[in-house]
């Protein structure tokens, strides 16, 4: 299998897994809307940023100073690692994971596995995958166009989610925030 075919296969798995995840974990909004359209914002940002980034990546400017095979290899690796982190984080949350921001009946704060280090490992995994996608095109403009807007959309989502968790759990969630970083262990 060529490196490009592997890249395509990993991207296809990524797309299909996100579609499946959305269908399996979407909950009808509660009377009190907690999501604040953050899910919609993420999807709109992705739908605009990826085609724009792909277009820029196919142009012949702003290339990284390294061979394309290295970029696509590193990019594919980061996508796969990001997906793995995302799915392990989701499996750790089990029934508490929802596509839209929700506080479920008997909801508890999960603080083991990746969650012992960072509060949002599923989002961290996604962002690592988007960084990999941008890098795979061996282009600064593509990488920036894909990664930056998607990161901003996820940061908004994290803000919305943390507000909902703080409102639901108060001091317990605040203590969890004090013990952990947001997205990058020991750093941020």
Average of per-residue pLDDT across 82-98: 92
Burial of 86 (0-12, 13-18, 19+ CB in 10 A): buried
Neighbours of 111 (CB within 10 A): 14
Q: Which pLDDT score is estimated for 11?
A: 96
Look up tokens 């499996």; give the residue.
91
Distance between CA atoms of 95 and 52, rounded to whole angstroms? 35
Q: Which pLDDT score is estimated for 133?
A: 97
Residue 32 token pair: 């009190």
Q: Which of 110-114, 146-150, 184-188 has maximum average pLDDT? A: 146-150
> Phi and psi for 27 in degrees, rounded to 5?
-115, 140
Burial of 74 (0-12, 13-18, 19+ CB in 10 A): middle
Name which residue leads in pLDDT, 98 or 121. 121
Domains recognised in the chain with CATH numbers: 37-179 (1.20.120.1630)
73-87 tens-digit pLDDT:
999 999 999 999 999
Closest-CA residue to 176 (of 131, 111, 105): 111
Distance between CA atoms of 157 and 146, rounded to whole angstroms? 17
4-62 tens-digit pLDDT:
999 999 999 999 999 988 777 766 665 556 778 898 999 999 999 999 999 999 998 99
Cβ partners under 8 Å of residue 113, min gap 6: 88, 89, 92, 121
112-139 tens-digit pLDDT:
999 999 999 999 999 999 999 999 999 9
């Amino acid at each position: 299998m060529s490196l490009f075919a592997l890249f395509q296969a990993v991207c296809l798995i990524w797309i299909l897994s996100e579609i499946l995840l959305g269908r399996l974990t979407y909950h009808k909004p509660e009377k009190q809307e907690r999501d604040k359209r953050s899910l919609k914002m993420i999807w709109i940002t992705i739908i605009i940023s990826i085609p724009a980034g792909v277009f820029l990546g196919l142009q012949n400017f702003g290339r990284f100073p390294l061979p394309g095979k290295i970029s696509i290899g590193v990019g594919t690796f980061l996508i796969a690692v990001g997906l793995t982190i995302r799915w392990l984080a989701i499996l750790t949350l089990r029934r508490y994971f929802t596509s839209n921001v929700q506080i479920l009946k008997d909801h508890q704060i999960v603080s083991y596995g990746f969650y012992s280090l960072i509060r949002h490992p599923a989002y961290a995994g996604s962002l690592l995958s988007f960084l990999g996608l941008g890098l795979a095109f061996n282009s600064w403009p593509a990488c920036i166009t894909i990664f930056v807007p998607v990161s901003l959309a996820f940061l908004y989502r994290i803000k919305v989610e943390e507000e909902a968790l703080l409102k639901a759990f108060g001091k317990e969630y605040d203590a969890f925030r004090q013990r952990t970083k947001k997205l990058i262990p020991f750093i941020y």
